[in-house]
Structure 1
Amino acid sequence: MRFSADQLARMLVESGARSGPLHAQLSQGLRELIELGELPIGATLPAERALASALSVSRTTVVTAYQSLSQEGRLERRQGSGTRVRAAVQEVERETVSSHVLAGDHAAAQFLNGPLATIDFATAALPCLPVVADTAAAIGREEYLQLGQQHHGYHPRGLPALRERLARWYTEDGLPTTAEQILVTSGAQQAVELVTQGCLQAGDSVVVEEPTYRGALEAFALAGCRVRSVASDAHGMDVAALARLSAPRLVYAQSTLQNPAGTVLAPDRARRLVKLAEDEHVVVVDDTALAGTAFEPARSRPLATYGDSERILTIGSLSKLFWGGLRLGWIRGASRTISRLAQMKGITDLGTSLVSQQIGLHLLDQVSLARSSRRSELVEGLADLTALLAESLPSWTWVPPRGGASLWVRLPGADTTQFAQVALRFGVAILPGAVFSASGGLTEHTRLPYAVPPAVLRAGVHRLARAWAAYLGDARSSVPVVSLTT
């Protein structure tokens, strides 16, 4: 397995900030990735010069780090064959867990590896709304006893009462739905993975917009699909460009609110996408996980409201609106399709937590309150972030989002894979735009969260401004990590 310089640079960003000389920081980061198995035995590391460019350090820094790890017996370097991860003496011929998907950068890295830096701008997770704790605490012992009396407690399709409630929720919003059309999942990510496993085979063609949700890209890659992309602008996916492609097996869209750009699919494009699904027999996955965070929810409609085709699968979630810790999502689709996906879910997951589902059942009565609360905090956070950027980083640009928890920002002339390394030295972690791209493009972009405390937001932007000045100047100089109050 061969790692590119950009790929390894992203892995180092996501594994966290470090202190000390740059060569020591690099050797420590590589050492941890090797120990965790993210860099598997036999993996070929990038050439010194290429990695130095991706990390915005001198070639000497990389040479010194490689030499240090070679002396420890973790790397082997051979003239003409490059640098490889070396098996320790006690290692067997093949690792116990050796799946290829364990190598490389991935969306869960920042959650698996702990805090990324003093200030973490790499994640855009939303804080838990107080109504979640209030609702969970208000459920009494008798209700939990009744829940526990439901035989074995396994419901692969989801708690019947919750499925009925979700169906009624859609119906009340103008999209007639029955409980048989709902499959409850452990979050929207599991929903994406179930659809991927159930609708796609290795080699199938998938089209996404550019940029798009990173977790979906990883699910499609894991399934061995051929992923193509079409551009996205302030009005959402360019459906006209999509229509010019040879018909794919599946299109992954985000009509109600796009992650990470915060755009909403225009009604005329939504209608054309639904018609394309019907005419070309294309499966369309409409991920509406962010819908509850829209600044103007009345203007945000899922694709199924434009034509309830059997080929449209709608993904929903309570994670963004209420709290990610609930791990509660769902798929809405044709009854037969939902039944088949439920069979697949039952093979690997006998059911999502009934306790979370019972809490979610009550939270659905609090949706209006939650949307109002979430909208207020997000609008305020966005205003704070854009004011700080205008003051400290006036050359950075963006299209105003219509919801969501992050701002999709363009850094003119930058390679954000390189800039992310410089920013990390100033104690703030960001993600390169390439991780949101099917083709590894979008190198001038990054995603900045604004659902963070004002003091942290202010400190983070000030650090980014200093990092930007260093990047435009001598990005290869050693820079100490600054304090939170800087």
Structure 2
Amino acid sequence: MDRNLGIPDVVELLGDWAVGRGPIYRRLAESLERIIREGGLHPGDPLPPERPFARALAVSRATVVSAYDRLRERGIVDSRQGSGTRVNRFAAPLRQPLDGRVTGGRATSLLQRMIDGPTEVISLTRAVDAAAPEVGTVLQEVVDTDLGELLKDTGYRPAGLPALRAAVADQYGSQGLPTTPDQVLITSGTQQALNLISTMYIRRGTSVMVESPSWPGCLDAFRAAKARLLGVPLDDEGIDLRIARQVMAEHQPVLMFVMPTYHNPTGLLMTGRRRAHLADLAAQHNVVIVEDNNFLPPDGPDGAPGPAPIAAYGSSDAQVLTTGTLTKLVWGGLRIGWLRGPAELIERLARLKAMADLGNPFVDQAVAARLMPRLPAIAARRLTEARGRMELVGSLIAEKLPEWQWRMPAGGSALWVRLPGADTRAFAQVALRHGIEVVPGASMDSSGRHDDHIRVPCVHPEDVLVEMVDRLENAWRDAAMAR
């Protein structure tokens, strides 16, 4: 059946096809055959037309023609005048098991990099540090002090370990958002929280308002639930209120997903004023806000606390679900996150969580509970370290790639960089051939805009960051020669 996959879909499925040895046309042919055998392309599906496919991959048309010729020789594809090149109906079974890809999604290559693990390619798909040293210390404390009591429990607590729910509630209270433990659900990270929310709220065609740009893994959680995504741009204070108001009035979205604290990928910190206005606007239109806060905002210069979560600004009519995680601040290997919201909603989400996995491992939660009081100090240190690395990368880009445009973000650990005049989807293909994997900006925008941007995470050691910019420089020069 002809599913009319677009060229960006096929490029996404190819992943890092250009990395390796041998003629480039052969690498392309082998990668296309792989995704056909794996069911990414089905019998009868058309392959992209040669010329636009070559432009998207930043190769010559002859490379694509040679790759297609090789696939025809192997009986993988057929070509007919007037209908182009299609997957041979005998090339693969008609039905393939689902493999986790999201139709129209843009996070496939990011997730595949997590599965594949480290390679010689410098990957810019992730912006997370190694474990904070406190993790080892706290793990030993749990073994020495808490393990006996933990082992007396049955281990089945879908809503979360009581000590961790209480610690998360205390953390929100210190941020100006009074919270009780029954308003907290422990999850295995933000991704699971979004999946649970999607299951509860979204049906096919449900409208969800998102920031443009945003993080593709989050967008794909809503796409997988068959939501219709409505992108709203950002200004210097956060999501644009004027456009958000128009979108709510015209499309009546059920959910609005925002990242107010060090937005990914821009690093923007939404002001307290904007958070308050957004909470009021959502309440007026009966829209549920889902706020993803992966970081803690720093205290102001006068020692006053940074902006509280959006939920702290809302009236009693506002419905706000607040997610958090230890991934960015502490360690990606500690798969602990949480959802904070009205107790009745948390109870419903806990039932969905029980159906998914019956709850997170107890030892992990006990470690997280002991880490929560130390989170502000860890966050402050992480932000200082990240700032130093971003300043280094910024100075290197200014020296070696003066055409590129960016500004130092309020926080986070990545630079959001504009490449003037470039289609970064094509640049990503050139970069792969130089051993660096970038995330095109269009994959981080529900509407495909920001196609002249890339996100540059600054989480590697200093020597790797220097090499990273060198490879980006070489790729940029090659891409310029091809334009």
| Contact 2:18–2:24, Cα closer than 8 Å, also in 1 | no
- State which of 197, 207, 210 in structure 2 corresponds to 1:208: 210
1:175-254 superposed matches below 5 A: 175-245=177-247, 246=250, 247-254=252-259
Deviations 1:128-185 (A, max 9, x none): 112112221332256223212112x111101111111111221122211111100100
The C-alpha deviation readout for 1:93-135, integer Å capped at 9, x for no partner, is 4224478737864241221233465211232222211211222
Q: Partner letter of residue 248 of structure 1?
A: P
Cα distance change of structure 1 residues 171 and 180 upon mapping to structure 2, 3 Å threshold: same
> Once the 2 structures are TM-superposed, how far is the Cα of residue 23 of structure 1 from its aligned partner?
0.8
**1:45-90 Cα distance to aligned partner (Å, 9 max, x none):** 211111101011111100111111222233233332232333557x
In 1: Cα distance, 2:472 partner to 2:27 partner:
20
CA contact (8 A) 1:293 1:404 kept: no
2: CA distance between counterparts of 1:166 and 1:98? 34
Q: Please say if 1:421 is aligned against 2:429.
A: yes
2:280 is equivalent to residue 275 of structure 1: yes
Instruction: Name the residue aligned to 1:450.
Output: 458
- Per-residue CA deviations over 1:287-335 (Å, capped at 9, x if unaligned) read 1123369998943421012125451110111111101111111110000
1:118 counterpart = 2:125: no
Letter in 1 for 2:365: Q
Residue 354 of structure 2 is aligned to residue 353 of structure 1: no
2:138 aligned residue: 135
CA contact (8 A) 2:176 2:308 kept: no
Distance 1:67 1:229 in 2: 40
Aligned residue in 1 for 2:79: 77
Distance, in Å, in 1 between the alignment partners of 2:18 and 2:330 is 27
Partner of 1:479: none
Q: For 1:126 and 1:360, locate their aligned partners in 2 and report how far apart those are by CA, in whole Å.
A: 17
Secondary structure (helix, strand or coil) at the match of 1:395 reads coil
Contact 2:166 2:180 in 1 (8 A): yes
CA contact (8 A) 1:117 1:427 kept: yes
Q: Could you say if the C-alpha distance between residues 298 and 12 of structure 1 is closer, same or farther in structure 2, counting changes exceeding 3 Å? A: farther
The answer to whether the 8 Å contact 2:202/2:225 transfers is yes
* The one of 9, 12, 29 aligned to 2:11: 9
User: Structure 1 residue 325 and structure 2 residue 330: aligned?
Assistant: no
Specify whether residues 18 and 305 from structure 1 end up closer, same or farther in structure 2 by C-alpha distance, changes over 3 A only: same
State whether structure 2 residue 271 is matched by structure 1 residue 290.
no
- Supply the distance in 2 between the matched residues of 1:434 and 1:295 (Cα, whole angstroms): 34
Corresponding residue to 2:386 among 378, 393, 400: 378
- Specify which of 48, 56, 81 is matched with residue 54 of structure 1: 56
- Out of 95-104 and 352-361, give the one that drifted further: 95-104
Q: Structure 1 residue 94 and structure 2 residue 79: aligned?
A: no
SS at structure 2 position matched to 1:66: helix
Asked if structure 1 preserves the Cα contact closer than 8 Å seen for 2:291 and 2:321, the reply is yes
Distance 1:39 1:14 in 2: 17
Matched, 1:261 2:266: yes
Q: How does 1:396-415 map to 2 (within 5 A)?
A: 396-415=404-423
C-alpha distance after superposition, 1:196-246 (max 9, x if no partner): 111222111111111012112101111111111111133221012100222
Distance 1:252 1:104 in 2: 17
Q: After superposition, what is the alpha-carbon deviation per residue over 1:230-264, rounded to whole angstroms, capped at 9, x for unaligned?
A: 11133221012100222321111111220111001
Q: In the alignment, is the contact (CA less than 8 A) between 2:18 and 2:27 conserved in 1?
A: no
SS in 2 for 1:357: helix
| Structure 1 unaligned regions, length at least 5 | 476-486
Letter matched to residue 267 of structure 2: G
> What is the alpha-carbon distance in structure 2 between the residues aligned to residue 85 and residue 292 of structure 1?
51
Q: Which residue of 1 aligns with 2:45?
A: 43
1:17 touches 1:116 (CA, 8 Å); kept in 2?
A: no
Letter in 2 for 1:95: Q
Relative distance call for 1:74 and 1:278 in structure 2 (3 A) is same
Match of 1:469 in 2: 477
Is 1:304 the equivalent of 2:337? no
Does the 8 Å contact 2:418/2:454 carry over to 1? yes
Instruction: Kindly indicate whether the alpha-carbon contact (under 8 Å) linking 2:17 and 2:28 is maintained by their aligned counterparts in 1.
Output: no
Amino acid at match of 1:221: R
Is residue 111 of structure 2 the alignment partner of residue 108 of structure 1? yes
Task: Determine if contact 1:37/1:102 at 8 Å carries over to the other structure.
Answer: no
* Matched residue SS, 2:186: strand
- Contact map agreement 1:13 1:421 (CA 8 A) in 2: no
| CA 293–124 in structure 1, closer or farther in 2 if over 3 Å, else same | farther
Deviation at 1:336, TM superposition (A): 0.6
Cα distance change on mapping 1:349 and 1:303 into 2, 3 Å: same
TM-aligned CA distance change 1:59 to 1:269, over 3 Å: same
Could you tell me which amino acid in structure 1 is paired with residue 6 of structure 2? S
Match of 1:480 in 2: none
The answer to whether the 8 Å contact 1:2/1:45 transfers is no
Q: CA offset at residue 365 of structure 1?
A: 2.5
Q: Secondary structure at the match of 2:268?
A: coil
Q: Is the 8 A contact 1:75 1:86 kept in 2?
A: yes
- Aligned residue among 433, 438, 441 for 1:433: 441
Task: Name the SS of the counterpart of 1:262 in structure 2.
Answer: coil
Distance 2:132 2:97 in 1: 41
CA deviation vs aligned residue, 1:362-385 (integer Å, no higher than 9, x gap) = 111221331132122201111111
Partner SS state of residue 28, structure 1: helix
- Bigger mean CA offset, 241-250 vs 182-191: 241-250
Q: Percent sequence identity over matched residues?
A: 37
Aligned Cα root-mean-square deviation (Å): 2.3
Decide whether aligned partners of structure 1 residues 8 and 379 sit closer, same or farther in structure 2, where only a CA change above 3 A counts. same
- Structure 2 matches for 1:16-31, cutoff 5 A? 17-31=19-33
2:169 to 167, 179, 183: 167
1:335 and 1:357, CA in 2 relative to 1: closer, same or farther beyond 3 A? Answer: same
The structural deviation recorded for 1:389 is 0.4
